[in-house]
A and B are shown apart, each in its own frame.
Chain A
Amino acid sequence: MKKAIHYINQFFAGIGGEEKADYKPEIREGLVGPAIALNSILEAEVTHTIICGDNFMGSNTDEAVNTILGFLEDKEFDIFVAGPAFQAGRYGVACGTICKAVKERFNVPAITSMNVENPGVEMFKKGIYIFEGGKSAAKMREDVKTMANFANKILKGEKTGPADEEGFFPRGIRAEMWLKSGKTAAERGVEMLVKKLNDQPFETELPIPKQDRVPIAPPIKDLSKANIAMVTTGGIVPVDNPDRIQSASATRWGRYDISKIDRLESGVYKTIHAGFDPAAADADPNIIMPIDAMKAYLKEGKIGKLHDYFYSTVGTGTTQAEAARMGKEMVGKLREDNVDGVIMTST
């Protein structure tokens, strides 16, 4: 039989309320509190219950997490369940924290449940399964059941459905799915339009997500002393593409020495970007990666230094996760040379 471990707080373990919220992590063999209900529905044996005070987890997060991960090091388990936390903010955050840590360390599915108002939802929904739960412990039975039903699907290796069908908060992962209704895009589109025209409620299949903003970096004070680096997503590379950067959905990037050249010559550099007609850039790569103009500004003294390499990858179809990773890797190199500012050209 498969095995599960359940995390709960000091209150649901029956240890005490607010006055016991500093309770240190503890692991007990067998079932405590909500673990009994979970064990009765789950098609796995709940072998251990972990208990931790909400304040302890909140104020000594690293210690709490490390202690619990230490408890789990020698245990066998196929799934990790925390809560349900209802609307209890600190408990919700604790469930999210520990689920995320356990998932990352042991790569087992981690499941919890909380109310939509719980701050833990926004903080952790991207990484783990958080089921939409009730406001208070009156919903204990239902919330445990929802988690257990989903856990059972995972344990049996069944295909799990989308967030809205299963009842967990969307994790920011969009994937394709064949509709059971068999309704075609044409039928759905016309139906949606007729509803929109008649001011009836309709549901878009692609809700426009909110944007994630980054604070604006402080400006360069004296350009004539600054070290500037050039980056492109336009796929300009030496003609033999030494880093084998893909022409779409790139996962690789390269950097190429420009310290001894005044411009990028045709026949020496080209674009491998497949998303547009490459003729113009192959004839003159500077129209995408303007090394010639930068060298002119360097000679004039407008900038103090041009970083010895330009950086290149392909933007089309590249996932944000890959782009972020590549960006971080580039930043590492840029920092080594104390680069003060970056110009990035995109196609």
Chain B
Amino acid sequence: MKLEIGNFQVKDVVFGDKTMFKNGILTINKEEAMDFIKEDEHIIDLDIVIAKPGENIRIVPVKEAVEPRIRPDERSVFPGITGDVEATGSGRVHALKGCSVLGVGMHYGSFGDGLIDMGGDGAKYTLFSELINICIVAHTDEEFERFEQQKKNRAIRWATHRFAEYLGNTVKSLEPEEIETFELDPITKRTEEINKFPSVVLVMQPQSQMEELGYNDLVYGWDMNKYVPSFMHPNEVLDGALISGSFMPASSKWSTYDFQNFPTIRELYEEHGKSINFLGVIMSNLNVSLEQKRRSAIFVAQMAKSLGADGAIVTEEGYGNPDADYILCIAALEEAGVKTVGISNECTGRDGASQPLVTLDEKANALVSTGNVSQLIELPPAEKVIGELQALARDGLSGGWAYDEILGPSVREDGSIIMENNAMFCGDRIAGWSTKTMKEF
């Protein structure tokens, strides 16, 4: 399978007469863009705001992030979401690099939403502080979940995917500045030279724990709560087969942008043919009962073994009870003789003294740590807020609170904030971007 990603580096995003991409500048006709997004009648109030790296801007509640893309051959970018269900992972896709479309609540947040600071000390946490963000700031008519802590956020999430494709149209027929090629031969048809390297699989555990549909990650538009582990091509992940859900605390989340650019996949490609033979991805899931967790670990270990994997990397989109899925899976692989490394964050508490993962197993002897979800973060007021700052304190974001006898509310009168890393949008960069680690102090 061969995927070509044609890159267009976006140096600036501005509003103007015509929506187009020229000389590194993405120009958006705001009125037309608003009309397009409002084709979804559930969006009842809307603004589009641009936020650039270094600006004194705070964005909250952020629900989703997507890289603008388009396929020259007319297939949809996100099959099952923005168009028909069709195979992804091969052919050509064009990408606007250095920017992302953010889905932001105009008023209301939910458990899995997060915060992004574009400047100041808060900007060191998330990758999205380094990108030009085209923010869809929307209010919807989804009354059934208006005051629920858990929200599906369907209208806003779908708007980000649709709008990312809409913006992608600007480069549909242009010639990319750079083309990246991702190609793996079928496993049984590889050259001797490749086969001499140890074989490696990547095991991904996307968030799929909500039994009510509509909150989980989707694969080809399919809710992953109704999914069992199977073998996927890494190109499918990089090419829009998966989109992010609306449940996991923000710092432990994989946004759709993360899937589209998954650094751990890119790194395995990088080493393919140099030090490893990258077999592909075992796409697993995260569950809510021990029986389900065990079943998935069995599926994964069996597939890895049958594929002839010598090594594996396991990575989870979550913390807390998902750690049980993560550790069970690592242990099952080790028991099957597959040498395994895990990549995840930890929850050592605000004091740093708690057990880092909810389950531990001595077989998990090679772990990479990307951060502490409960690290307290205190930040000064920002000049401008995109969205609604109170959402952090009021709406049950996983790292925010309305009341605390010692720390006070997350949002203070002067606009300064105190929160847990939990509420930093993709703050632990678990997809593999993280340059953070955890150390004993």
Contact = CB atoms under 8 A, between A and B. Distances in A.
Interface of A: 160, 162-164, 170-179, 182-190, 192-194, 196-198, 202, 204-206, 208-209, 211, 244, 246-249, 251, 274-279, 316-322
Contact of A189 (B267, B403, B420, B422): B267
Given A184-B263, A209-B360, 18 more contacts: A171-B441, A172-B440, A174-B348, A184-B429, A184-B435, A186-B263, A186-B433, A188-B368, A189-B432, A197-B339, A208-B365, A211-B360, A246-B401, A247-B396, A249-B350, A251-B404, A277-B212, A319-B374
A176 B367 contact: no
A36 B293 CA distance: 61
Contacts of A182: 435
A130 B364 CA distance: 29
A277 B422 contact: no
Given A162-B439, A170-B440, A197-B310, A192 B430 contact: no
Interface string B146-178: 000110000000000000000000000000000
B210 A185 contact: no
Interface stretch (B32-40, B131-139, B298-306, B351-359): B351-359
B28 to A, nearest CB: 31
Given A206-B367, A276-B209, A179 B435 contact: yes
Given A171-B440, A179-B437, A192-B368, A275 B429 contact: no
A146 to B, nearest CB: 17
Given A184-B434, A197-B276, A174 B356 contact: yes
Interface string B318-357: 0011000000000000000001110100111111111111
Nearest to A205: B369
B29 interface: no
B438 A177 contact: yes
27 contacts: A162-B441, A171-B441, A174-B348, A174-B356, A174-B372, A174-B440, A175-B375, A175-B438, A176-B421, A178-B435, A185-B435, A186-B433, A187-B432, A190-B271, A190-B276, A193-B339, A196-B341, A197-B276, A205-B369, A208-B362, A211-B360, A248-B398, A276-B209, A277-B212, A317-B349, A317-B422, A321-B349
B198 interface: yes
- The A interface, classified by DSSP as helix, strand, loop or mixed, is loop
Contact of A205 (B347, B354, B438, B441): B438
Given A164-B440, A182-B435, A189-B264, A321 B398 contact: no
A202 B346 contact: no
A185 B339 contact: no
Contacts of B264: 185-186, 189-190
B430 A185 contact: yes
B429 A185 contact: yes
The bracket for how many chain B residues form the interface is 35 or more
Contacts of B368: 185, 188-189, 192, 205
A182 B346 CA distance: 19
A184 B433 contact: yes
Contacts of B350: 249, 319
B266 interface: yes
Contact of B367 (A170, A205, A247, A249): A205
B352 A278 contact: no
Contacts of B349: 249, 317-322
Contact of B372 (A163, A175, A209): A175
A208 to B, nearest CB: 5
Given A185-B430, A187-B267, A320-B354, A163 B440 contact: yes
B426 to A, nearest CB: 12
Contact of B343 (A173, A176, A185, A277): A185
B124 interface: yes
A188 B367 CA distance: 10
Contacts of B150: 274, 277-278
A174 B360 CA distance: 16
Contacts of A247: 111, 149, 396
A174 B351 CA distance: 8
B233 interface: no
Contacts of B348: 173-175, 319
Given A206-B369, A277-B211, A317 B320 contact: yes
A210 to B, nearest CB: 10
Contacts of A194: 271, 275-276
B377 to A, nearest CB: 10
B366 interface: yes
A208 B360 contact: yes
B124 A178 contact: yes
Interface in B361-384: 361-362, 364-375
B85 interface: no
Contacts of A249: 349-350, 374, 420, 422
Interface string B399-438: 0010110000000000000001110000001111111111
Given A177-B436, A178-B435, A206-B367, A319 B313 contact: no
Given A163-B441, A174-B438, A197-B339, A274 B369 contact: no
Contacts of A187: 267, 432
A173 B353 contact: yes
B200 interface: yes
B48 interface: no
Contacts of A198: 198
Given A164-B439, A319-B374, A186 B267 contact: yes
Contact of A244 (B111, B403, B431, B441): B403
Contacts of A197: 198, 200, 276, 310-311, 339
Nearest to A195: B366
Contacts of B403: 244
Going nearest first, the 3 A-B pairs with the smallest beta carbon separation are A319-B349, A186-B432, A170-B440
B248 to A, nearest CB: 10
A205 B360 CA distance: 14
